[in-house]
């Protein structure tokens, strides 16, 4: 009797897991397959295979320019967010900042506040400052959006490290910067690099703030995709979507490798 | 003065950037609700009085309220298998959920749209299996919006639920069985309550995220499924009505904040951060 119940649950669980797996992965598989289609429409399965949409993607200035713009935003924004976020995390966990919990909560706000509100707010304020349609405006916006992820990752890594290691270095006469540089930073480096990766992928994929703040001349990939999606779908979009997907996959694998390296060092 | 105190200044750059490029602008936008086009509460009065605003607010709440239980129900068995399956299976499942989780929301929304097209994979499959005679309208309506939201939000429930489940001692269920509880009773009385922190966290995350969605309703939903973020964009881009945009933002923010407060009261945000 009891065995029967468990068997039914196991079967149901397996079926549900398959449904979820299909729901999560089928769209991505279909997009990647269609990007190699030889047909000028999004037919699945494709009637034949070719690289024409990739050729089209990398030979259309609108797309190549937008890729360049995305990289020009991604690199500084991810670096700024990682540096500012790591410094803030260090101060919050080790420095005894007054009201640390409140400061931490405020630093998390850009995740909690819906993207449309942030986008509208930045767009409104940028109008007076002439920052709309500039790389600077986009970089500032993206830096703020990435900060919470860096702070969350690095503070939790700092919390599991023993603060006494650093105190010992200080007692032995190491100046605070040297103690941080030689003791703490190497210990939390995997977390810092991991948050850099997350920040990179976040700014590369960010759409809503970019949609408001960008212009026809300074237009990141996500916005270029968006403006194409509102017209007729053409397979070039599935090519750029596959490129984005591949990028995400690579970054995820790098992040998993970082985490695996970290846990093996502890063990 | 201890030398440690000098380290607190490291928090300043981040706080400054946050204040100037986030808190300030958001505050400015919300303030417009009370000052544009003239000082007063007329924007909130308009939201209350004109059916178009209430309809969009209702839509937004309805969609969030429908998406949340679907995502939770689908996530439960996956998290369960992840928590109690073999180590090998667990690694695969985690990877399987992480891959879409890291992929851009826009890419996933577009991919879902391809799948749901009139002559897309889902319709071809339904017709081939003889379940329907004609391709169903699955895109630019409630179904498309729902399918997209569920696709994007599943990981937000699977992971918190998994972390609750993996901490449950299997001995509890054995003890319940030994004491004569049927599997169903043991599940309902012992197992389910222990997963509540994960269920609440995931459920509320899904609800909050859906409230603020823009890309998915714009791409997969139809005009009748317009949500509040789309309306905020409309107020600015089409009408230049910053006052109404501010008022709608404040309503959205209040709903989001209210749900977070509920989470704080039931589970505690510290627990969520784990």
pLDDT digits (tens, 9 = 90+) for A111-144: 999 999 999 999 999 999 999 999 999 999 999 9
Which residues does residue A49 pair with via DSSP β-bridges, in sequence order? A37
pLDDT in tens, A205-250: 999 999 999 999 999 999 999 999 887 777 899 999 999 999 999 9
In degrees to the nearest 10, what's the CA dihedral of A96, A97, A103, A105?
10
The pLDDT value given to residue A242:
95
Domain ranges of chain B: 51-236+247-273
Q: Do A125 and B25 touch (CB under 8 A)?
A: yes
Strand partners, A37: A49
pLDDT at B110: 94
Q: Give the minimum alpha-carbon distance from A11 to chain B in angstroms, rounded to a whole number.
A: 10
pLDDT on residue A8? 86
CA distance A182 to A158: 14
Question: Of A23, A34, A114, A197, which to mutate for an interface test with B (greatest number of B Cβ within 10 Å)?
Answer: A114
Q: Reply yes or no on whether the pLDDT at A152 is more than 70.
A: yes
Residues of A whose CB is below 8 A from B179:
none
A225 vs B contacts (CB less than 8 Å): 106, 110
pLDDT of residue B173: 86
Q: Which of B108, B184, B214 sits opposite A115 (nearest CB)?
A: B214
Overall CATH class of domain B51-236+247-273: mainly alpha
Q: Is the pLDDT of residue A4 over 60?
A: no
Question: Which domains can be identified in chain A, with CATH numbers?
Answer: 60-266 (1.10.3720.10)
B-chain residue closest to A256, CA distance: B95
B240: left (phi over 0), alpha (psi -120 to 50) or beta: left
B100 touches A: beta carbon within 8 Å:
yes
Per-residue pLDDT of chain B (274 residues; tens, 9 = 90+): 444 567 888 999 999 999 999 999 999 999 999 998 889 999 999 999 999 999 999 999 999 999 999 999 999 999 999 999 999 999 999 999 999 999 999 999 999 999 998 888 999 999 999 999 989 999 999 999 999 999 999 999 999 999 999 999 888 888 988 898 888 888 888 899 999 999 999 999 999 999 999 999 999 999 999 999 999 999 999 999 999 999 999 999 999 999 999 988 887 765 665 4
Q: How confident is the model at residue A98 (pLDDT cuts 50, 70, 90)?
A: confident
H/E/C letters for each residue in B174-217? HHHHHCCCCHHHHHHHHHHHHHHHHHHHHHHHHHHHHHCCCHHH
Asked whether the predicted pLDDT for residue A198 surpasses 50, the reply is yes
| pLDDT given for residue A1 in this prediction | 43
Mutate one of B9, B75, B85, B104 to test the A interface: name it (highest A CB count within 10 A).
B104
A80, A95, A251 member nearest B8 (Cβ) = A95
pLDDT tops 70 at residue A192: yes
pTM for the model stands at 0.92
Mean pLDDT for all residues in chain A: 90
pLDDT of the residue at B2: 47
Token pair of A38 as six digits: 């030889």
Q: Mean pLDDT: which of A8-12, A77-81, B86-90 is highest?
A: A77-81
Taking 50 as the threshold, does the pLDDT of residue A267 lie above it? no
Find the closest chain B residue to A245 by CA distance. B103
Q: Which tens digits make up the pLDDT trace of A14-47?
A: 999 999 999 999 999 999 999 999 988 888 888 8
Q: Residues 6 or more apart from A201 whose CB is under 8 A from it?
A: A247, A248, A251, B102
Contact B212 A116 (CB under 8 A): yes
């Amino acid at each position: 009797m009891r065995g029967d119940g468990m068997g039914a649950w196991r079967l149901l669980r397996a079926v549900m897991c398959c449904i979820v797996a299909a729901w999560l992965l089928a769209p991505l598989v279909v997009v990647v397959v269609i990007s190699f289609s030889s047909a000028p429409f999004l037919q699945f399965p494709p009637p034949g295979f070719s690289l024409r949409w990739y050729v089209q993607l990398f030979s259309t200035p609108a797309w190549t320019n937008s890729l360049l713009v995305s990289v020009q935003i991604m690199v500084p924004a991810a670096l700024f967010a990682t540096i500012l976020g790591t410094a803030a995390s260090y101060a919050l966990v080790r420095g005894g900042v007054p009201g640390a919990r409140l400061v931490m909560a405020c630093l998390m706000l850009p995740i909690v506040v819906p993207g449309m509100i942030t986008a509208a707010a930045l767009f409104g304020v940028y109008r007076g400052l002439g920052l709309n349609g500039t790389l600077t405006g986009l970089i500032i916006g993206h830096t703020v959006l990435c900060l919470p992820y860096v702070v969350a990752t690095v503070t939790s890594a700092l919390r599991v490290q023993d603060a006494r290691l650093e105190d010992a270095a200080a007692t032995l006469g190491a100046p605070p910067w040297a103690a941080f540089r030689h003791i703490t930073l190497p210990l939390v480096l995997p977390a810092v690099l991991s948050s850099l990766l997350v920040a990179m992928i976040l700014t590369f994929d960010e759409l809503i703030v970019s949609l408001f703040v960008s212009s026809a001349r300074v237009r990141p990939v996500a916005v270029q995709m968006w403006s194409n999606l509102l017209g007729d779908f053409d397979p070039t979009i599935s090519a750029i979507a596959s490129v984005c997907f591949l990028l995400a996959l690579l970054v995820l694998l790098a992040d998993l490798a970082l985490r695996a390296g970290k846990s093996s060092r502890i063990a | 003065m201890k030398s440690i105190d000098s380290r607190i200044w490291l928090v300043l750059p981040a706080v400054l950037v946050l204040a100037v490029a986030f808190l300030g602008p958001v505050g400015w936008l919300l303030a417009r609700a009370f000052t544009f086009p003239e000082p007063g509460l007329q924007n909130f009065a308009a939201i209350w009085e004109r059916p178009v605003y209430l309809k969009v607010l209702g839509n937004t709440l309805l969609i969030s309220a429908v998406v949340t239980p679907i995502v939770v129900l689908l996530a439960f068995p996956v998290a369960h298998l992840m928590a109690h399956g073999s180590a090998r299976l667990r690694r695969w499942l985690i990877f399987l959920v992480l891959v879409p989780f890291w992929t851009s929301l826009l890419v996933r929304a577009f991919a879902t749209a391809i799948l749901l097209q009139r002559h897309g994979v889902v319709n071809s499959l339904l017709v081939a299996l003889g379940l329907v005679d004609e391709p169903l309208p699955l895109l630019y309506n409630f179904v498309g919006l729902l399918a997209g939201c569920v696709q994007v939000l599943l990981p937000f429930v699977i992971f918190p639920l998994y972390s609750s489940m993996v901490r449950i001692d299997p001995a509890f269920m054995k003890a319940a069985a030994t004491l004569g509880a049927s599997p169903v009773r043991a599940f309902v009385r012992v197992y389910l309550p222990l997963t509540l922190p994960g269920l609440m966290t995931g459920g509320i995350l899904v609800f909050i995220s859906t409230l603020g969605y823009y890309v998915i309703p714009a791409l997969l939903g139809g005009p009748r499924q317009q949500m509040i973020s789309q309306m905020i964009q409309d107020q600015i881009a089409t009408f230049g009505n910053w006052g109404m945009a501010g008022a709608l933002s404040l309503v959205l923010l209040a709903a989001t904040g209210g749900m977070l407060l509920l989470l704080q009261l039931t589970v505690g945000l510290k627990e969520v951060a784990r």
